[in-house]
Homo-oligomer: A and B are copies of this chain.
Amino acid sequence: MRIAFLLYDDFTALDAVGPYEVLSRIPGAEVVFTAARRGPVRTDMSLAVTADAELGEVDSADVLLVPGGPGTLAQLSDGPVLEWLRAVDATTTWTTSVCSGSLVLGAAGLLAGRRATSHWACLEELAKFGAEPTGTERIVTDGKYATAAGVSAGIDLALSLTGRLAGDPVAEAIQLLIEYDPQPPYSAGSTATAPAELVARMRANGLAIS
């Protein structure tokens, strides 16, 4: 089973590394981080992770995952990345995204007429690509397309996919291995539970922290 991740400059590290930590542990899975060029790819906050393959070296995948981040904006114009996504998508069992990665799938034309989600701050932009923005679920599945909400939602997506790909016992074993028993010390993780003034402030100031 080949699981291909698309990397690009200024993606958000956890969008990819959360799902990777789960999916790479499926027995028999081969994960490949793919980018326009091999080598280190800088994420949005400074960390660099390595792409071990160029786009041209990966022409099929069982699972395709596109992370999000500020760098998605530069990926929305047609070109080699969107062509690659369309070509690999034609071979997948699951095509997936985390956070604003769904905008890239949308720009490739893969979400037209489908329900999908994204980071809360760019959810409505999905409509530009003919998708139906769906903000009430953390993971939205429509056919073989599974899109997750912002950043940390990729861990939940990956556990859910693991259950479908390899069975519930494998997903549970991986959850136990990574001790995924989350206990957030605050309850501000969604626009529904965060203080309303915080949501409004972040929407107004381009997601600045303070």
Chain A residues in the interface with B (C-beta under 8 A): 12-14, 17-18, 20-21, 24-27, 31, 33, 40, 45-50, 52, 99, 119-120, 138, 149-153, 155-156, 159-160, 163, 168-186, 188-191, 193-195, 198-199, 202, 207, 209-210
Contact = CB atoms under 8 A, between A and B. Distances in A.
A179 B120 CA distance: 8
B156 A175 contact: no
Given A13-B17, A17-B17, A185-B171, A178 B151 contact: yes
Given A151-B21, A152-B182, A189 B176 contact: yes
Nearest to A191: B176
B153 A176 contact: no
Q: Which of A138, A176, A207 has the most CB of B within 10 A?
A: A176
A93 B104 CA distance: 41
B159 A184 contact: yes
Given A17-B14, A17-B17, A45-B20, A151 B177 contact: yes
20 contacts: A21-B151, A24-B46, A24-B47, A26-B209, A33-B47, A47-B49, A47-B50, A48-B49, A48-B50, A120-B179, A150-B177, A152-B178, A152-B179, A156-B182, A159-B184, A169-B198, A173-B198, A175-B189, A178-B189, A181-B190
A181 B186 CA distance: 10
Contact of A172 (B45, B120, B198): B198
Contact of A138 (B156, B183, B199): B183
A52 to B, nearest CB: 8
Nearest to A181: B189
Contacts of A138: 181, 183
**Which residue among A21, A153, A155, A181 has the maximum number of chain B CB atoms within 10 Å of its CB?**
A181
Contact of A12 (B21, B50, B153, B181): B21
Given A156-B182, A175-B184, A182-B182, 13 more contacts: A12-B21, A17-B18, A24-B45, A27-B209, A49-B50, A152-B180, A159-B186, A171-B185, A173-B188, A173-B202, A173-B209, A175-B194, A181-B184
